[in-house]
Structure 1
Amino acid sequence: MHLERATWTEIDAAETDLALLPVGSTEQHGPHAPLGTDTLNAEAVADAAAERYEGTVTVAPAIPVGIAEEHRQFTGTLWTSESTFKAYVRDIVDSLAHHGFDRIVLVNGHGGNTSALREVAGRITRCDEAYAVPFTWFDEVGEHSSRMGHGGPLETALVQHANPGAVREDRLEEAAENGSDRWGDWQGRVNLAFDSAEFTENGVVGDPREASAELGEELLDAAADALIALLKTIADRDLDRPAHR
């Protein structure tokens, strides 16, 4: 059940305390993939899991702007501070909990959001009237996770499958040739770079030519299955324990 597509009476009648909150970003993904890639992919995974879940789960509207200042040199990228981002996520979760949706998964599509979502989910669970956990889809696709870059094969493939026509297929060669094969500029285990423009000419990390709609379908299935398993666990979790009061 999608919150923004339902009436308030339909939402009021929903017999569930489960909700998914997709969280993405508006940032460069090379010359071939849309700025909204992270949001589109988070929405696709949330939608697929909600559709396949044996029960009712509410899907909230996606948060389209995240922590993305590392891409500031590329036109169109939007970002917010970490404190603003965490406060906004917390407010939305509080709104959901107010209406009874107090078991919430933050379905994340952007690596830059990961640590902030973990921190705010802990704060929500300890201090507010909800239980929240983060779920980053590209960490839940098995062996494919090791191929995650930026605008690379995984993100590109999922967009190709879930949003046909959104990837500029004629720019894949350019994206691969002027990108990077590794995130960062490293000395030992220290990343010397803070912005992506320091190590990739066009914002790409990885080879998007390895992407395909077929791979995207496989990724979506794997991520949705993992999210469904998480929903089932959360639905059965005892929230009356001291740690959740």
Structure 2
Amino acid sequence: MHTDRTHRLADLTWPEIAALADRAPIAIVPLGACEQHGPGMAMRTDTTRAEVVADVVAQRLSPQVVVTPVIPVGVSEHHMAFPGTLTLSAVTLQQVVHELVDSLYRHGWRKVFVLTGHGGNNAAVEVAVSRLRADFPDLHIAWSGITAVVSDVVADLATSQVRGHSCEIETSQAMFVDPSLVFPERLERGSADLADLDPAGQLSRAHPGIHFPQAYDVLSRTGNLGDARQASLEAGERIIQTAVERIATFLGELANLPARLPSPYPPSIHVEAS
């Protein structure tokens, strides 16, 4: 997919950025990862997905949106058994997000959307967003992943009982956003059924809503779940285009949202009489 780069902050000069204040009220902060994606996909898969989706959303809403440089390394400790994976701690990533959004805030942005292409970043992003809301009461800030906003589409397209990393769903997305990410002849079936998992892995998947994280070298000898061989360009197009449409719809509404004003009323403190 080819996109217009004029919405990228890093491609603009400071006078151009200063002139954006009234036209581009929203800044998107894309987050990625550098981690193993099985034998058939590149380490930068999550980074590229986040960057491309952010670009296309910004193009769709032009000139209302700017996009910051992508953060290319995320929280990937659970993939560190596989060579080449890089990781930040959750504490470091949430601090990076906080300071990057603080920079945007100091330049006048009051509406920010954090888009993560890697689910391992979620906890750090949630902490960063909570801190930012407390530190900047007049900031409208939201965040999401990519696959999570199209869970209904994923349910319709998925072929594996167990999936979520380098499966047919993520591989399809990679094929669409950047075909060079995928080496079709190297794609393999990973842990695709509950029977493929060890007892701890099975338990981690058996109780929805309960989090029992497992390292990926325990979950899969190849590092991927699902069956990447079932991926298709058509499925990737449907997933990504739907995600773009839904995120763009939300951000269009966010752009029209009135500015948030700090509350004039301090929280009430009730003191018991002694």
TM score, norm. by length of structure 1:
0.90
2:87 equivalent to 1:76: no
Distance 2:131 2:240 in 1: 29
**Paired residue secondary structure (1:19):** strand
Which sections of structure 2, spanning at least 5 residues, go unmatched?
Answer: 1-6, 267-274
2:9 equivalent to 1:3: yes
**Paired residue secondary structure (1:107):** strand
Counterpart in 2 of 1:150? 165
Distance 2:111 2:193 in 1: 38
Counterpart in 1 of 2:28? 20
Distance 2:186 2:153 in 1: 23
Counterpart in 1 of 2:269? none
Distance 2:236 2:212 in 1: 32
Alignment RMSD, CA only? 2.2
Q: How far did 1:76 drift?
A: 0.7
Q: Which amino acid aligns with 2:92?
A: T
TM score, norm. by length of structure 2:
0.81
Q: 1:86 to 1:222 in 2, by over 3 A?
A: same
**Paired residue secondary structure (2:73):** coil
Which sections of structure 1, spanning at least 5 residues, go unmatched?
Answer: none
Rg larger in 1 or in 2? 2
Distance 1:109 1:192 in 2: 21
Q: 1:206 aligns with which of 217, 226, 229?
A: 226
Q: How far did 1:118 drift?
A: 1.7
Q: How far did 1:17 drift?
A: 2.1
Q: How far did 1:185 drift?
A: 0.6
Distance 1:66 1:165 in 2: 21
**Paired residue secondary structure (1:140):** helix
Distance 2:62 2:72 in 1: 28
217-226 or 189-198, which moves further after superposition?
189-198
2:240 equivalent to 1:220: yes
Distance 2:211 2:17 in 1: 46
Judge conservation of contact 1:70–1:195 (CA < 8 Å) in 2.
Answer: yes
Counterpart in 2 of 1:186? 202
Pairing of 1:80-229 with structure 2 (within 5 A): 80-128=88-136, 130-146=139-155, 147=158, 149-172=164-187, 175-176=188-189, 178-181=190-193, 185-187=201-203, 188-189=206-207, 194-229=214-249
Q: How many residues align?
A: 241
Distance 1:132 1:166 in 2: 31
Distance 2:235 2:72 in 1: 24
Q: Deviations over 1:85-121 (max 9, x none)?
A: 1001100011111112221100111111112212211
